[in-house]
Amino acid sequence: MSAEPAAEAEAQLKPGAISFVDALVIGLASTSPAYSLAAIIGPVVALVGVYAPGVLLASFLPMLLIASAFYYLNKVDQDCGTTFSWVTRAMGPWLGWTGGWAIAMTGVLVTGSLADTAVRFSLLALNLDDLASNNAVVIPIVVVVVLAMTALCVLGTEISARFQNVLILVQVLSLLVFAAVALVRAATGDTPFDAEVPSLSWLNPFAEGGAALTAGLLLGVFAYWGWESAVNLTEETTDSASTPGKAAIVSTVVLLVTYLAVAYAVVTFAGTGFLAENQDQAELIFALLGEQVLGGWDWVLLLSVATAALASTQTTIIPASRTGLSMARRAAMPRRLAHIHPRFRTPDVSTWTVAAIAIAWYVLIYLVSENALFDSLTALSLLIAFYYSLTGIACAVYYRKQLLRSASNLLLIGVGPLVGSALLIYLLIQSVTDLNDPEASSSGVSWFGFGPPLVIGVGIFLVGIVFMIGWRVHDARFWQERPGVAPDPVDSEKG
C-alpha cells in the first residue's frame, strides 16, 4: 500500500473551531433568508394571496420535525457526512450513498445561481443597472466570486464563521429595517399600492387549500432549506454531540419569525395584486419594492439580498464538501476527496471539486438559457425533499429499539421525524407531477417530452446511480457495511 492514506490520516478536521453562535449563523446564512424570500414571496402570494404567511408557517412544520431528526442522529454519530452516514448506519450503504449524492448535488445546482444573484444585486445597489443585466459582464464575475468563496472555505472554518457573522448581521438588519418601514408606511396610508389590513387569519394555511397549498408548500420548503449546514460542521464544533443539532433547530425557529415578519410587511404594504403580477421577476421583487418602501435608501434592501446570496454561496459549499469528505474516507468515493489540508485542516480537495463542478454547471446551463438556470433551481425541490425525508426515516429506524422507552422518545425520535418525512414524501410526489408539465417550467419548453426541472432532477439521480454502481464494481469496501441500531439510549429530556 502507498503511504498516502497514512499521511492523510494525520490531518483531521479541526475540532472546536466554531461555537454555537457560529454554527447558528452558518445555518441561517445557508438558507439565505433575504434571497429565499425574494425568490418565493411573489409566487406564493400568486398562489394563496394574503395567506402567504400561513403557507410559510405550514412549511415550517416538516422542517422542524426533520431538524429534530438531525439533532438526535447527531447525538450518536458526529459525522460531517450527516445524512450519508446516518442513513448508511440505519438502512444500509445503497440508500446512504444515494442520500449523500443528493446533498452534494444540491450544492452543485445552487452555488452558481447564488453567486449570480449576489453579483447582480451588488451592481444594482451601486446603480449599475446596465451592467447587472449584461451577462457578458456578470458571468465572469460570478466565477471569480465562487472561487473567492471557495478559497475562504479552504482557508479555515473560523475565518468562514467570522465572515458569516458580518454578512448575517447586515442581512438581518436590512430585512428588519425594510419590514418596519413598510409596516409603518402601510399603517399611515403612505403606499402607492392597494394595501391590505394585516390579520391573524393570514396565518391559516388551509384557506386556499388544494393544489395552491401544495405548490406553496413546495416553495416554502425551498425557503427553509439549508439550515443543516450547521450539522455538517459537527466535527469542527464545540460540544459536537449537541451544539450542531441545537443550532439547526434554533435556526429554523429564527427563520420562521423572520419570514413571517417580512411576509406580513410585504403583503400589507404592496397588497396581493402587485406581488402576483411580478411573480415572474421573483428575484427582483425586492428591487422593485425597495425603491417604493425606502426611497433613496433602497440600496439597503438590495444590499441585504446581495449579502444573503454571497453568504449562502460560501455556506452552500460546506455540506457538499463535507459530505464528499465523509463518503471518500469510507471508500464510497475516490480517496483523494478525503484529503484534509495539513495547515488549514479543511477538506481542500473536496471543496475545490464541488466549486469546479458548480462553476461548470452554472456556465453550461446559462449557455442553454437563463430560464434553464431557474429550472435547475426548481429541480432542487426533488433533491431536498428526498434527502430530508430519508433522514427522518433513518432516525426512527436507527432508534427503533428505544422508541417505547418513554413518551418523549416516541414523539421526538419516532413519530415526529416520520410525520415530517411523510409530508416531504407527499410533496416530493406532488412535485414530480407538477414538474412534469413543461408549461409550468421557467423555460416553458419540453425536454424529451417532460418539463426541464423534472429532467434535470431525475437526470441527476440517474447519473448518481450509474456512478454508484461503477464505484461499487471498482471498490466494494463501503458496501460491506451493515445497518445497525443506535448504540446508546437517548434521554430526550436531557437532550
Its domain, for residue 317, covers 20-480
What average pLDDT score do residues 168-188 get?
A: 81
Domain membership of residue 1 (yes or no) is no
**Averaged confidence pLDDT in the chain:** 84
Domain membership of residue 490 (yes or no) is no
pLDDT at 147 > cutoff 50 = yes
pLDDT at 293 > cutoff 90 = no
Domain membership of residue 485 (yes or no) is no
Separation of alpha carbons 376 and 24, rounded Å: 28
Domain membership of residue 12 (yes or no) is no
Q: What sections of 11-92 are H helices per DSSP?
A: 20-31, 33-48, 52-76, 83-91
Q: What is the pTM of this model?
A: 0.86
Q: How many domains are there within the chain?
A: 1
pLDDT in tens, 351-366: 999 999 999 999 988 8
Of the spans 156-160, 179-183, 227-231, 335-339, which averages the highest pLDDT?
A: 335-339
Q: What is the CA radius of gyration of the chain?
A: 22
430526550: which residue's cell?
492
pLDDT of residue 492: 41
Would you call 209 helix, strand, or coil by DSSP?
Answer: coil
pLDDT at 5 > cutoff 60 = no
* pLDDT bucket at 211, cuts 50 / 70 / 90: low
* pLDDT bucket at 218, cuts 50 / 70 / 90: confident
pLDDT at 130 > cutoff 70 = yes
Residue 438 neighbours by CB under 8 Å, 6+ apart: 444, 445, 446, 447, 450, 451, 452
Domain membership of residue 486 (yes or no) is no
Domain membership of residue 418 (yes or no) is yes
Domain membership of residue 7 (yes or no) is no
pLDDT of residue 488: 58
The residue among 162 and 184 whose pLDDT is bigger is: 184
What average pLDDT score do residues 30-53 get?
A: 82
pLDDT in tens, 373-426: 777 777 887 888 899 999 999 999 999 999 999 999 999 999 999 999 999 998
Closest to 361 in 3D by CA, of 110, 134, 149, 119: 110
Separation of alpha carbons 85 and 270, rounded Å: 46
Domain membership of residue 487 (yes or no) is no
Please, what's the b/e burial string for 445-483 (b: 16 or more CB within 10 A of its CB; e: otherwise)? eebeebbbbbbbbeebbeebeeebeebbeeeeebbeeeb
What average pLDDT score do residues 261-273 get?
A: 86
Amino acid at 476: A
pLDDT of residue 443: 60
Here the CATH number for the domain that contains residue 326 is 1.20.1740.10
